[in-house]
Structure 1
Amino acid sequence: MGRYPFKKNLANSAGLVLTLLTLVLSGPDSLNAQETGEEELGAWYMYFGMNRFAERWSLHTEAQWRYYQWNRNFNQLLLRTGINYHISEKAIATLGYAYIDTDPTFEDAPSPDTPFAGNLISENRIFEQFILMNRVSELRFEHRYRLEQRFINYQGENQTRHRARYRLQLTLPLTDTFFINVYDEVFLNLQGEVFDQNRLYAAFGVRITENSSIQIGYLKNHFRNTNFDRLQFALFFNPDLRNIFGKQPLN
């Protein structure tokens, strides 16, 4: 034994008390962070398409695979489509539908062979959207306003919720090929607690062709009680199909 066992035991006890006090003061979220996957760096793998088939009309297509960890542990599948009406080159109105399949549990994830086996939440969603675009010098602004009617099945119980979203996006071209894209989007519930979540995003983009690009970025997803860090890998493909459908684009 050392020369000062009492002091050693006192120091150990004090350290234990300080550790417990820190956990209590930091709240329950710090105790449950690992259970929700909050401490993990997850990833979203995404595809977006705007398929222009007429002067005023295009079809939106979208698929997202979201994971609690960057390469595993399924969280959510999102499939979204919609019909776009191009009011002008700077304004687009959309009516659309989305299907979302969610596993909200980080721990005890399903087997990789059956990634959707343990999902507890499925959602059918209708949305209305309006986009306005403008430019200041080389900086491009996009304002996206969206209303959502959400029909959610949670463990056999059906719920209907309504939500409003607003996203401000800025795109800065660096060259003809490379660009920077950032946005902030706030989600507001139209019943119950008003604040739902906020997403802050920054990405580096590469233009592959005139109609396609990729983005690699980082998303900070803030909810009322949790925060998630997500890598994002996105492919954008916007083919002009007007020649195929016999509709010549206007010059």
Structure 2
Amino acid sequence: MNKYLLAGALLAATLGAAPAARAQTPLNPVQPWGSWAILTAQLPGSTEHRWGGYVELQGRTNALARQFFYYEAKGGVSFDIDPNFTLLVGGGRYSTSDYRALEDGPLNVEHRLWEQLTLTQYSKRLKLEHRYRIEQRWFSFRDDSTAFRQRIRYRLNGFFPLNKKTITTGTLFLSAYDEIFLNPSGPVFERNRIYGGIGYQVTPHFIAQLGYVNQANYNYTNASGQFVLQNTAAKNNIVLALTYKFSHRTVPPGQERLPSQQD
């Protein structure tokens, strides 16, 4: 199959799924497009140096580049069991506010800890990443109440370089993923996140990506016996992600590392 047809199919399949999901929920009010800005500094592990890590800052707005309401600061430590098999332990702070009254302080603040396993597969140009995550989440709400929740996440991420066979300096690439969020306490199927975008590796260290993400939260209704979208829950967003990757001195400069988003 022509490489550009395969790349287009990967991106079209991901973007096409979002309208289909929304079509099932005509009662869901139309929301403005939002935006996410993600800044990441990362030290990937290698065969010689298996320990790595990252730190990340992220902000979100209710409308495009305005009506700020959410930010998160997080980081993690990783260990490469082998080049295609990575473990990570991470933690972070997540703050949600009312964009109409930021001066009133956060509606809730979440502290999160998670354990993660990532498996990668390579098939000529197409690269696939399977990410499994278990989260522990502690909430503090404005009314001084607290809560504890757990969550399980699985993400299938695909990458397709357009002008090279590997994603290294000077590579233009497509990226798409679908991630499901499961709540052990119920409702089990909590959220679905679909992403499609394009990226460019500017230097051995700097990567820029621009994409689209649709995030939908779900509820379970006993009346219909089916999963349905919560009102005002499904939202489209433009995502700008900038990543700076440090490297160990002994790692070859042309070694491929997938430009995965850490969110």
TM-score, normalized by length of structure 1? 0.77
Residue 118 of structure 1 is matched in structure 2 by 105
Structure 1, residues 94-132: CA drift from partner, whole Å, max 9, x if none?
0111110012x46xx125xx5xx4321101000000100
Residue 61 of structure 2 is matched in structure 1 by 67
Residue 120 of structure 2 is matched in structure 1 by 133
Find runs of 4+ consecutive structure 1 residues off by over 3 angstroms.
248-251
Give the one of 235, 239, 246 matched to 1:228. Answer: 235
> What letter is aligned with 2:158?
L
Give the one of 20, 28, 33 matched to 1:41. Answer: 33
Aligned equivalents of 1:169, 1:194: Cα separation in 2? 22
Residue 147 of structure 1 is matched in structure 2 by 134
Q: Are residues 1:51 and 2:8 paired?
A: no
Residue 172 of structure 1 is matched in structure 2 by 160
> What letter is aligned with 2:33?
L
Count how many residue pairs are aligned between Structure 1 and Structure 2. 207
Aligned equivalents of 1:206, 1:52: Cα separation in 2? 18
Q: Are residues 1:161 and 2:149 paired?
A: yes
> What letter is aligned with 1:119?
P
Aligned equivalents of 1:128, 1:185: Cα separation in 2? 16
Change (3 A) 1:96 1:26: closer
Cα RMSD of the aligned pairs, angstroms, is 2.0
> What letter is aligned with 1:110?
A
Residue 17 of structure 2 is matched in structure 1 by none
> What letter is aligned with 1:57?
W
Aligned equivalents of 2:145, 2:187: Cα separation in 1? 20
User: Structure 2: which 5+ runs fail to align?
Assistant: 1-24, 165-170, 219-229, 256-263
User: Structure 1: which 5+ runs fail to align?
Assistant: 1-24
> What letter is aligned with 1:65?
G
> What letter is aligned with 1:211?
H
Change (3 A) 1:118 1:52: same
Sequence identity of aligned pairs in percent?
28
Aligned equivalents of 1:49, 1:201: Cα separation in 2? 21
CA drift at 1:62: 1.2
Aligned equivalents of 1:46, 1:140: Cα separation in 2? 22
CA drift at 1:175: 1.2
Change (3 A) 1:166 1:206: same
CA drift at 1:211: 2.3
CA drift at 1:192: 2.4
> What letter is aligned with 1:50?
Q
1:193-212 mapped onto 2 (5 Å cutoff): 193-212=187-206
CA drift at 1:52: 4.2
CA drift at 1:203: 0.3
